Amino acid sequence: MATRYTKNPRRTLIQEAADPATDTERLRYLANHKREEVRLAAIQNPGVPEDVWRKALLEGLPEAWSNPMAPIYLLGWSPQPGDRRTLKEAACHAMCTVWKLGKQVSPDGKSLLNSKILEWWVTSVSAPNMMDFLWNWSYGKYCEHRDVVRLFVLCVRTVPILNAKDRQALDLLEAWCTGQEEKLNEAKTLSYSCSHLVLVTIDLASNPSSWSNVQYIISELNEIVAFHKKKGVDLEEAVAEHDRLLADLIRREMPLPPQL
């Protein structure tokens, strides 16, 4: 596509990508450049085409939230065919990227992200997604990891078929979450006689890297509870009901989500 671009040898590509006076279609090209720093500079440029910015936002790039036009574009936001994520999912993905990779977001971008995360948190009915979000927040942060383990313990306690050893192990894990270091090893000694979900919970406390499958585990928990509590009721509806209950439980224990 033809543009009004005229090469200026005195400017770097990054300077060009960041310059609001750069031609719109030239910015479209720079937003797809092979060099990441050029792409990210273009995405934050208020002159970049809205469709290019929108694609970057839905890909979960935190830099898209720093674009000065973002508040205006978000006011008229509506889902479109082919969207890879919802707006709230994109916000969660961007937030997790900031936490994990130390990405920088402008003050206005932080405000936008925080508002979308709060909006998602107060309306979410998906406990797996909420726990996954919390794990990304606690990744590599020892104290916060215990906070998330405690929430996981509370979720597991909703299973109606726990045996005495299961409950004892969960009690020990809760004590470990309050700082009683020796309780984790005591819980591990009970693991041979504990159910699968409690074993997994002990592993989550012992090995933070095992949180990669947290969504699957919470989903499995929902199905187990639904199967044992809702015989004669559609399983899918029962799972959804328990998922909502867990989401409410998580919100009750953590009314405000972690923010930037």
Residues 135 and 198 in one domain: yes
Query: How far apart, in whole angstroms, are the C-alpha atoms of residue 172 and residue 177?
Result: 9
Q: Which of 70-74, 143-147, 237-241 has the highest mean pLDDT?
A: 70-74
Residues 168 and 56 in one domain: no
Residues 66 and 181 in one domain: no
pLDDT tens across 107-145, in order?
999 999 999 999 999 999 999 999 999 988 887 676 788
Total tally of structural domains belonging to the chain: 2
Of residues 259 and 139, more confidence is placed in: 259
Residues 115 and 133 in one domain: no
pLDDT tens across 35-59, in order?
999 999 999 999 999 999 999 999 9
Rounded to an integer, the average pLDDT of 232-236 is 79
Residues 242 and 212 in one domain: yes
Q: Is residue 259 part of a domain?
A: no
> pLDDT band for position 1 (50/70/90)?
very low
Q: Is residue 186 part of a domain?
A: yes
* DSSP, residue by residue, 199-224: HHHHHHHH-GGGGGGHHHHHHHHHHH
pLDDT tens across 85-108, in order?
999 999 999 999 999 888 889 999
User: Is 205 a residue whose pLDDT tops 70?
Assistant: yes
Of residues 10 and 181, more confidence is placed in: 181
What is the residue-averaged pLDDT of the chain? 90
Residues 109 and 164 in one domain: no
Residues 147 and 111 in one domain: no
CA of residue 221 relative to chain centroid, distance:
20
Residues 116 and 20 in one domain: yes
Q: What domain range is 109 assigned to? A: 13-70+85-123
Q: Is residue 75 part of a domain?
A: no
Give me the pLDDT at residue 175, please.
97
